[in-house]
Amino acid sequence: MKRSEIHRAIEGAAAAFERAGWALPPAPRWDVTDFGLGSFAENGLVLVNLAEEPEYCEKLMYAREGQRTPAHCHRRKKEDIVVRRGALRVQLWAGPPGTAGGPVEVRINSVDRSVPSGSIVDLASGERITLRPGVYHEFWPTSEDCVLGEVSTANDDVGDNFFVDPAIGRFPDLVEDEPARIRLVSES
């Protein structure tokens, strides 16, 4: 992913956060990814790590229409994804997509639900979904853009993201086509 593309993605996300009324911390910890697939417009997400504690994590995320976060699960992390502005579609599986699986146990807007593996859940502004460890999920905006919150148990982006496609990585391969103005979480 080109550094210039990362800078544009951060500028776009910062503007969207401001429009949504989110004030960022004085030194935001930016994370921009194309999941190593080389196409940020199709597979991309901008994140800001707001809190990273041993017990919990909080993130603010931004995606534009057409961008997907590819199917993955976490073995340890339990997370709430909250739609702060826009609309989000989440697809859920009990196991890796394409394998037989029983129902998926999730909590949507504080109500426990059991949905068939492969189900799609649509969330509007203010709505949330709680994903337990082991639930495979993929999500994408159905609005022009989407501001999301994530509150979770301890976060381990290096060791607790299990993508269905082994070619997918959590962080982008960087191409330095201009000087870095912001260092990403993956560069810390």
What string of pLDDT tens digits covers the 188 residues of the chain? 999 999 999 999 999 999 999 999 999 999 999 999 999 999 999 999 999 999 999 999 999 999 999 999 999 999 999 999 999 999 999 999 988 678 999 999 999 999 999 999 999 999 999 999 999 999 999 999 999 999 999 989 888 999 998 889 888 989 999 999 999 998 97
Two tokens, residue 30: 């930016």
This prediction has a pTM of 0.95
Per the DSSP assignment, residues forming a β-bridge with 104 are 115
Does residue 76 sit in helix, strand or coil?
A: coil
Are 107 and 121 a contacting pair, CB within 8 Å?
no
Residue 84: CATH number of its domain: 2.60.120.10
Question: Containing domain of residue 43, as a range?
Answer: 3-187
**Distance between start and end Cα atoms, the chain:** 17
What is the total count of domains within the chain?
A: 1
